[in-house]
């Protein structure tokens, strides 16, 4: 079924006969002409079809058309006299694929995002969801472009795992046992040796440890895959299933990590500013005034850099009153992060060298003995958008840290062997993809920026 995408229609085609296929957004019947807007998802804009109602072949057809119906139209592309569009299609022939009855939930009016979540199968046909999906697509491709240009290897880390990366984070159990009547040991406990993997297995919370094994062979790698948290968080910032990008670089320290994270984020924003202008203008107009300025600023400004210790001093000297008191050793709260990024630095900011106790076991111990080579990238409006670290590459220090964190070195035998056999300084970071989409679109609820959100009580569709 040869046809043209609406996005691909160019002014050079004026006068040409083309065919488009799509779904009717609105239809307006006048005495001599019907004006039909159709959208095919390739772009935010609909194309206006002008149908001469006096042509006999339309008489029956036009009566069956309504919002949501699917049609193909062949006609001549002409310059539009109406405003708001540059061209329109003068219909020569029209075919109706599917009608759309009056109970179609997406009639031309505004619906709340919450209501639309209950229609995850139809909401892709709305302007907001259309624009989000195209931005997601662009950010995905930009991610691959950025890392491939730098010679990083794209890597698929496992989803099901018998180990827990961070020694923390509640995980989903994955099983083929009959949960009604699982096989049991004589002590009454479930006998996991009869499970699919012969032991308890979980959904991954991060591909990092696996990515480290590949960085220790290919130098620079990145993952882009789904990760999972079983925390019962019913907030606008948490999903049980979300996508994450995790680059990992060998022969790299925290400065290299910082450079890569900053270059990546700026590349992403430059890419959508250049390639998604129509969709971003939609978000600017309907979702967040000032969005384009905010993105432009982050794309063009060099990021500030402070150590955690400097940041604490700045917060303590500020005349801001914070709900959470500030002292060295605390985990920074969103109010602290936003003060630093929005008020103090007035631009994106990389914070580094956090207290050892509030960061994960695998982060490299600094020579001061109390901080580690961790980093968080903070941006205005969102706060933390990326987190990473130089990894502990010294076997003895890593083993000490594992014990300090109450973990069992024998569970990490393969991770430790990376430090026995040709260990290298290496570093990496993680970017939560849906947090990025919130940042780029100005949307407020993370459930609206992933096609089929999973959160407590919701795994529909």
Contact letters (x/-) for its own copies, 16-55, by CB under 8 A? -----xxxx---------------xxx-------------
- Should residue 257 be labelled a site residue for its own copies when binding is judged by CB under 8 A? no
* DSSP string across 302-338: PPEEEEHHHHHHHHHHS----SSPP-TTPPPPHHHHH
Q: How far is CA 284 from CA 11, 117, 281, in A?
A: 26, 22, 5
Q: How far is CA 395 from CA 215, 366, 391, in A?
A: 17, 15, 11
Among the residue ranges 28-36, 174-182, 263-271, 307-315, the one whose residues contact its own copies (CB under 8 A): 174-182
CB of 293 to its own copies, least distance (A): 28
3-state secondary structure (DSSP) of residue 74: strand
3-state secondary structure (DSSP) of residue 121: coil
Residues in the chain: 461
Q: Where are the beta strands (DSSP E) in 190-284?
A: 201-203, 220-228, 241-250
CB of 192 to its own copies, least distance (A): 9
Q: How far is CA 144 from CA 141, 253, 288, 311, in A?
A: 5, 22, 28, 33
CB of 400 to its own copies, least distance (A): 18
Determine the Cα–Cα distance for residues 307 and 319; give it in Å rounded to an integer: 20
Looking at the Cβ atoms of 213 and 334, the one nearer to its own copies is 213
* DSSP string across 130-151: HHHHHHHHHHHHHHHHHHHHTT
What is the SS3 string spanning 410-428? HHHHHHHHHHHCCCCCEEE
Looking at the Cβ atoms of 240 and 272, the one nearer to its own copies is 240
CB of 298 to its own copies, least distance (A): 24
* Tokens 């076997």, residue located: 395
Q: Please, which of residues 304-363 interact with its own copies by CB under 8 A?
A: none
Q: Please, which of residues 77-116 interact with its own copies by CB under 8 A?
A: 97-101, 104
Among the residue ranges 9-17, 62-70, 302-310, 355-363, the one whose residues contact its own copies (CB under 8 A): 62-70
- Should residue 423 be labelled a site residue for its own copies when binding is judged by CB under 8 A? yes
- Strand partners for 93: 74
Looking at the Cβ atoms of 261 and 378, the one nearer to its own copies is 261
Nearest Cα residue to 243 out of 211, 204, 214: 204
Near its own copies by CB under 8 A: residue from 230, 281, 292, 407: 230
Looking at the Cβ atoms of 337 and 393, the one nearer to its own copies is 393
Q: Please, which of residues 145-164 interact with its own copies by CB under 8 A?
A: 148, 151, 153-163
* Tokens 């989903």, residue located: 172
Residues near its own copies (CB under 8 A), total: 110
Looking at the Cβ atoms of 98 and 290, the one nearer to its own copies is 98
- Should residue 189 be labelled a site residue for its own copies when binding is judged by CB under 8 A? yes
Q: Which residues contact 94 (CB under 8 A, 6 or more apart)?
A: 49, 51, 57, 58, 61, 71, 72, 73, 74
Q: Please, which of residues 436-455 interact with its own copies by CB under 8 A?
A: 450-452, 454
Looking at the Cβ atoms of 201 and 378, the one nearer to its own copies is 201
Among the residue ranges 85-93, 239-247, 344-352, 440-448, the one whose residues contact its own copies (CB under 8 A): 239-247
- Should residue 389 be labelled a site residue for its own copies when binding is judged by CB under 8 A? no
CB of 283 to its own copies, least distance (A): 18
Q: Please, which of residues 392-411 interact with its own copies by CB under 8 A?
A: 393
- Should residue 217 be labelled a site residue for its own copies when binding is judged by CB under 8 A? yes
* Tokens 């150590």, residue located: 307
- Should residue 117 be labelled a site residue for its own copies when binding is judged by CB under 8 A? no
């Amino acid at each position: 079924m040869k046809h043209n995408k609406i996005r691909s229609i160019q002014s050079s085609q004026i006068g040409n006969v083309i065919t488009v296929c799509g779904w009717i957004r609105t239809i307006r019947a006048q005495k001599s002409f019907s004006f039909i807007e159709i959208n095919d998802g390739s772009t935010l804009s609909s194309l206006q079809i002008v149908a001469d109602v006096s042509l006999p072949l339309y008489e029956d057809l036009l009566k069956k058309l309504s919002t949501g119906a699917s049609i193909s139209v062949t006609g001549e592309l002409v310059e539009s006299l109406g405003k708001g569009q540059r061209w329109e299609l003068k219909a020569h022939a029209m075919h109706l694929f599917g009608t759309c009855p009056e109970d179609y939930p997406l009639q031309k009016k505004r619906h709340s995002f919450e209501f639309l979540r209950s229609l995850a199968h139809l909401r892709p046909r709305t302007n907001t969801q259309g624009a989000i999906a195209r931005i997601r697509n662009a950010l995905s491709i930009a991610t691959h472009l950025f890392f491939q240009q730098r010679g990083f290897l794209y890597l698929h880390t496992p989803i099901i795992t018998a180990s827990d990366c961070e020694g923390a984070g509640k995980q989903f159990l994955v099983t083929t046992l009959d949960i009604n009547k699982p096989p049991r040991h004589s002590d009454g406990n479930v006998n996991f040796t009869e499970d699919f993997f012969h032991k308890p297995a979980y959904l991954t919370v991060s591909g990092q440890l696996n990515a480290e094994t590949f960085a220790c062979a290919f130098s620079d790698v990145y993952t882009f895959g789904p990760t999972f948290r079983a925390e019962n968080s019913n907030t606008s910032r948490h999903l049980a299933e979300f996508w994450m990008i995790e680059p990992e670089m060998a022969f790299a320290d925290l400065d290299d990590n910082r450079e890569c994270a900053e270059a990546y984020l700026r590349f992403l924003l430059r890419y959508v500013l250049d390639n998604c202008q129509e969709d971003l203008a939609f978000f600017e107009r309907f979702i967040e005034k000032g969005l384009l300025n905010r993105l432009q600023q982050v794309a063009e400004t060099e990021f500030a850099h402070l150590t955690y210790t400097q940041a604490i001093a700045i917060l303590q000297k500020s005349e801001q009153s914070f709900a959470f008191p500030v002292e060295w050793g605390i985990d920074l709260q969103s109010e602290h992060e936003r003060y630093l990024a929005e008020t103090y630095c007035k631009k994106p900011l990389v914070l580094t060298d956090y207290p050892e106790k509030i960061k994960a076991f695998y982060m490299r111990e600094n020579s001061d003995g109390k901080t580690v080579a961790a980093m968080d990238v903070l941006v205005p409006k969102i706060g933390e958008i990326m987190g990473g670290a130089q990894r502990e590459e010294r076997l003895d220090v890593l083993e000490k840290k594992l014990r300090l964190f109450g973990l069992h070195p024998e569970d990490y035998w393969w991770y430790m062997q990376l430090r026995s056999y040709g260990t290298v300084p290496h570093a990496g970071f993680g970017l939560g993809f849906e947090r990025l989409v919130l940042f780029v679109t100005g949307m407020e609820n993370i459930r609206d920026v992933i096609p089929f959100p999973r959160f407590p009580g919701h795994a529909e569709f």
